[in-house]
């Protein structure tokens, strides 16, 4: 979902004294509680593009946290690496960069909590944790909740059940067909789950090495473009964002789209195009919330992994209520989700109890 509001409460831009890199942290909102959002390390043409990204991403995290039922706001860290440099950010240089990031996070004094994102890993979080405790998703062996992709996939499967029950009430998943785009950490688990339920599968990945999975599942292997246009009941985007555009929506042959990929719409107005074509779109900001729910539940609320999984399954009923609200009011699921965010931020709707 592209962000509607650029209203960050606090933004800080630092040049890391050890690494010389620009570190930008945005705490978009702390109205419901500390701001949550991962640390992205990525090359940008200049730090200004990194600033645009951090504002947009932290605002999207405010929506994600509110829709996940968490008493948290959204935040983000972007380290805007110089894209003309071929510097290798491993070894001691990485350690210096991570120490710089940790020191900036620490200045937020717990009003912002970071975690992994593009370009960072649970192991990196362990390094950050040596200088600031405001970090989620360290490796399990080091006391964190580890890689969030499995709970994210669980949230996707709960969402697929909700979408199918809403669109085809009483229909068994084994009679429906799905096209999964991207068979990485999340998509491979979702594909396994669908295959185990006997659903007809079409799959795609730009990495030909993932084709083995298609053979294991008895799935049809196609190009990513064919997967998006496939004549299936549900398209499940689990690769990159921005795939739903006016042009691509015109070429869809599915009845619903629901997947983990962040920011699937190129623009908010594309939600109306999907609606007009009768394609039910499950807002990715709800569908992909499993990772954040699990890490907060385990690390901040002290729940067991099994209890956290139960919370993640709550994505299903939450999505059902957003889809039902949209249908009742004749609005897009995007608008219904945005209205729910506003209701949470204004205190008209409570989150999930803390424990
Ligand atoms: P991943 O990097 O493990 O897997 C992505 C897969 O998509 C890879 O196999 C890659 O080869 C493939 N891919 C890349 N570009 C492609 C394209 N154009 N067409 C088809 N396949 C392509 O990532 P992941 O952790 O599985 O996450 C998948 C998506 O879900 C991403 O958009 C991510 O931002 C989002 N997401 C992930 C999490 C999480 O906890 N991992 C949480 C929230 C959202």
Q: Where are the domains of the chain?
A: 10-140, 149-288+320-342
40 lines ligand 1 (CB under 6 A): no
Q: Which of 185, 204, 265, 295 to mutate to test the pocket of ligand 1 (most atoms within 8 A of CB)?
A: 185
Distance from C-alpha of 333 to C-alpha of 190, rounded to nearest angstrom: 22
**Does 182 sit in the ligand 1 pocket, CB within 6 Å?**
yes
User: What single string gives the DSSP state of each residue in 210-231?
Assistant: GHHHHHHHTPEE--HHHHHH-S
Same fold, 10-140 and 149-288+320-342: yes
Closest-CA residue, ligand 1 atom 1, reads 184
Q: CA 244 to CA 138: how far, in whole Å? A: 33
Closest ligand 1 atom, CA of 210?
Answer: 9
Residue closest by Cα to atom 9 of ligand 1: 184
CB 248 within 8 A of CB 228: yes
Which helix (H) or strand (E) element contains residue 39?
strand 39-44
64 has catalytic annotation: no
How many angstroms is it from 285 CA to the middle of ligand 1? Answer: 15
Ligand 1 centre and the CA of 291: distance in Å? 14
CB atoms within 10 A of CB 295: 24
Q: Of 76, 255, 298, 311, which is the active-site residue? A: 76
Tens digit of each residue's pLDDT, the chain (355 residues): 444 445 899 999 999 999 999 999 999 999 999 999 999 999 999 999 999 999 999 999 999 999 999 999 999 999 999 877 778 999 999 999 999 999 999 999 999 999 999 999 999 999 999 999 999 999 999 999 999 999 999 999 999 999 999 999 999 999 999 999 999 999 999 999 999 999 999 999 999 999 999 999 999 999 999 999 999 999 999 999 999 999 999 999 999 999 999 999 999 999 999 999 999 999 999 999 999 999 999 999 999 999 999 999 999 999 999 999 999 999 999 999 999 999 999 999 888 755 4
Q: Which CATH architecture has domain 10-140?
A: 3-Layer(aba) Sandwich (3.40)
Q: Domain 149-288+320-342 carries which CATH code? A: 3.40.50.720
β-bridge partners, 27: 10, 75
Question: Does the predicted model carry a pTM greater than 0.90?
Answer: yes
């Amino acid at each position: 979902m592209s962000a509607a509001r650029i209203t960050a409460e606090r933004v800080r831009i630092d040049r890391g004294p050890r690494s010389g890199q620009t570190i930008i942290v945005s705490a978009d909102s702390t109205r419901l509680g500390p701001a949550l959002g991962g640390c992205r390390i990525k090359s940008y043409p200049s730090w200004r593009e990194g600033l645009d990204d951090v504002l947009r991403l932290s605002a999207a995290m405010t929506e994600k946290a509110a829709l996940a039922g968490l008493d948290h706001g959204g935040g983000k860290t972007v380290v805007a690496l110089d894209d003309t440099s071929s510097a290798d950010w491993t070894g001691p240089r990485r350690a210096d960069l991570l120490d710089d990031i940790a020191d900036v996070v620490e200045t937020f004094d717990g009003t912002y909590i970071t975690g992994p994102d593009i370009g960072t890993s649970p192991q990196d979080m362990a390094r950050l944790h040596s200088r600031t405790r405001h970090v989620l998703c360290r490796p399990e062996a080091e006391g964190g909740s580890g890689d969030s992709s499995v709970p994210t996939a669980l949230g996707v499967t709960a969402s697929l059940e909700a979408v199918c029950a809403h669109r085809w009430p009483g229909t068994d998943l084994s009679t429906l067909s799905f096209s999964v785009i991207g068979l990485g950490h999340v998509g491979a688990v979702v594909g396994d789950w669908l295959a185990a339920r006997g659903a007809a599968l079409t799959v795609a990945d730009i990495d030909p090495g993932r084709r083995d999975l298609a053979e294991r599942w008895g799935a049809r292997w196609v190009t990513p473009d064919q997967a998006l246009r496939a004549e299936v009941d549900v398209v499940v985007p689990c690769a990159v964002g921005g795939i739903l555009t006016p042009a691509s929506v015109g070429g869809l042959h599915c009845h619903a789209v629901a997947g983990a990929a962040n920011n699937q719409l190129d623009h908010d107005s594309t939600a109306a195009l999907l609606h007009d074509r009768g394609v039910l779109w499950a807002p990715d900001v709800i569908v992909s919330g499993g990772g954040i729910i699990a890490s907060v539940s385990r690390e901040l609320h002290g729940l067991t992994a099994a209890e956290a999984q139960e919370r993640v399954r709550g994505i299903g009923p939450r999505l059902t209520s957003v889809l039902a609200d949209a249908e009742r009011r004749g609005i897009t699921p995007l608008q219904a989700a945005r209205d729910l965010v506003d209701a949470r931020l204004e205190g008209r709707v409570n989150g999930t109890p803390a424990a």
